[in-house]
Amino acid sequence: MDISNASYQYNSDGKLVKSMRVQDDSVLASLEFNYDEEGRLESYVNFIEDDYDDNYYKSVFTYTQDAIYTSSFTKKDIDDEYIENPETYKYVFSEKGDLVYYEANGPYYSDNDNNTVISTYDDNSNKISVNQFGNVEYVYIYTEYFNPEAFIYDATFGKEVYNLLGGETNAFATRETSKNVLQSVNDILKPEEEYKIEATIDEETNVATKITYEDGYQNQVIVNEFILE
């Protein structure tokens, strides 16, 4: 089993400015955040040690009255110049911070007639379905139990920032934002893929103390354990 440690740094406003994951004294990954004068996420740099692809990925955000637009840049080494990517993205959020419209544009998406990702939510802001590029792909069902990870991510990032960091991109994305513990995830386009969720619940508080997510497609198991104080 590989074990790594994560650390987080915040500014005087309580906003996350840097996170870092270290294993055996080596930095595996890091995120650095910059904010504008209004406290909105202005840019972030994602570093992942990679022998084959670019190590540094930078996103820059532009805010309008109705939407947020992003452009991205990459480079291999820290001393290299950033190269702008051809893809751009558009996000629209509800007043509660839920993502209600997402559009990706660029060479990867140019053949699609529908470049949108539209999510729906229940009264607790839990995502219940995702329509990606004209197809309903993921459908989520929840238990009545509370998910500690959502409160951690909300306090650390805020839901809007989390989605700007790419929170729409996989079946278990809602494990970090849903207030309730997932019961099941159904991939409508790939019904043969199996997603399993198991949770251990503290009976006095109805809060999960351990949640296991098994992704049958990526052959990945994620186990989150929580200490309630």
pLDDT score recorded for residue 70: 92
Of 148, 81, 164, 95, the closest CA to residue 125 belongs to 95
| pLDDT, greater one: 19 or 116 | 19
Q: Centre a 10 Å sphere on the Cβ of residue 219 and count the other Cβ atoms it contains.
A: 7
Does pLDDT of 1 surpass 80? Answer: no
Does pLDDT of 79 surpass 60? Answer: yes
DSSP for residue 36? -
Does pLDDT of 29 surpass 70? Answer: yes
Percent of the chain predicted with pLDDT > 90: 29
Q: Which of 2-6, 42-46, 66-70, 86-90 has the lowest mean pLDDT?
A: 2-6
Q: Which of 17-26, 86-95, 168-177, 191-200 has the lowest mean pLDDT?
A: 168-177
pLDDT score recorded for residue 96: 77
64-75 pLDDT, tens digit per residue, is 999 999 999 999
Position 18 confidence tier, pLDDT thresholds 50, 70, 90? very high
- What average pLDDT score do residues 219-226 get? 85
- What average pLDDT score do residues 36-45 get? 92
Contact 112, 104 (CB under 8 A): no
- What average pLDDT score do residues 32-40 get? 91
Contact 74, 98 (CB under 8 A): no
- In angstroms, the CA 170 to CA 62 distance is 25
Identify the burial level of 162 via C-beta atoms within 10 angstroms of its C-beta, where 0-12 means exposed, 13-18 middle and 19 or more buried: buried
Position 144 confidence tier, pLDDT thresholds 50, 70, 90? very high
Mean pLDDT score of the chain? 83
Rounded to two decimals, what is the model's pTM?
0.72
| pLDDT, greater one: 68 or 136 | 68
* Bridge pairing between strands 127-132 and 116-121: antiparallel
Long-range contacts of 117-120 (CB under 8 A, 24+ apart): 117/168, 119/168
